[in-house]
Amino acid sequence: MAPTSSAFNQFSSGDVLADRRVDYARMLAEAGDHAAAAELIEQALELSPHWAAGWFMLGEYREKAGRPDAADAYRQTLELEPEDVFGATLKLALLGEESVPDLPPSGYIESLFDDYADRFDTALVEKLNYSVPEKLAALIAPHAPFDHVVDLGCGTGLLGEAIRSSVTRLEGFDISANMLVRAEQKAIYDHLGQADLSLPHHEAGLFSKSLALHRADLVSAADVLMYLGSLETVFPLVTALLRPNGLFAFSVEDAGPDGGFVLRESLRYAHSQAYIEMLLAQHGFTLAELQRTVIRTDGGNPVRGILFLSRLGA
């Protein structure tokens, strides 16, 4: 499957006996006995009641066992970890206990990809048949070469690798410091920086004295927007980055013909074509090309997406 929160795996409960129960619980869960796994986590939490990661794990096992008290465990996770690095807010929304947030917690997204960075390329390309960088690069190619490209949510640099030969200056930005380390090791970007796309453009981290407004003739966002719900912050940021007539190339998971965006069981968001076209029109873009395609597999099933190529201005 694509990145999901495994942050609880990084933390010990601080109690040897509790950790031993957690190890047994994981073994039971891997064998499909989530009810027994939940009972063992409950025992571990009796020994370490303030262990937020353990409460999140308990919520997941209860949920998979079909227990109605999964939400209680997620609420306790939030109480102990208000920054919500585990994504408990999203879990509660999927259970119908809270409204779907317009944006996920930034701490959750940062933690998710910091944890995933070391195995990102192998997991996505080799195991999940991830194809967005190649497909988006093919969509962009007829408009090359480019003077200045800003790659939003660059990750480890998969799209950067695909377009580097046709770009004079390539910048990459990501919320995850560990992803940026991996991208830097590939030596394909002229500049790398940390940025949070959920913030207003003047706070996101993409502009400074050396990083001017309206500097790019292409902005890309490959497999990024599904980690946001509302894209109301993204489009003003892109228009601030682009020169007149500049291109914006990006992908979304396909939410179907109706509605705006939906939160899926994967804890990713899907967006409808109608919602994207509304935002494009509102922010002065014209749609140059649209391509529906399978963008990866998840649990052995195809995940359908939409690739967009748009131009700022008529």
Domain of residue 250 covers 124-312
**Looking at the 3D structure of the chain, how many domains does it have?**
2
Over residues 4-20, mean pLDDT: 68
Is residue 137 assigned to a domain? yes
* Residue 256, in any domain of the structure: yes
Tell me, yes or no, whether 22 and 152 share the same domain: no
State whether 201 and 141 are in the same domain.
yes
pTM listed for this prediction: 0.91
* pLDDT tens readout for residues 123-150: 666 666 788 999 999 999 999 999 999 9
CATH code (residue 289):
3.40.50.150
Is residue 76 located within the same domain as residue 138?
no
Q: Are residues 143 and 217 in the same domain?
A: yes
287 in the same domain as 187: yes
pLDDT in tens, 232-272: 999 999 999 999 999 999 999 999 986 799 999 999 999 99
In a domain, 1, yes or no: no
257 inside domain: yes
Q: What is the CATH number of the domain that holds 27?
A: 1.25.40.10
The 3-state secondary structure of the chain reads CCCCCCHHHHCCCCCHHHHHHHHHHHHHHHCCCHHHHHHHHHHHHHHCCCCHHHHHHHHHHHHHCCCCCHHHHHHHHHHHCCCCCCCHHHHHHHCCCCCCCCCCCHHHHHHHHHHHHHHHHHHHHHHCCCCHHHHHHHHHHHHCCEEEEEEECCCCCHHHHHHHHHEEEEEEEECCHHHHHHHHHHCCCCEEEECCCCCCCCCCCCCCCCCCCCCEEEEEECCCHHHCCCCCCHHHHHHHHEEEEEEEEEEEEECCCCCCEEECCCCCEEECHHHHHHHHHHCCEEEEEEEEEEEEEECCEEEEEEEEEEEECC
Percent of the chain with pLDDT over 70: 93
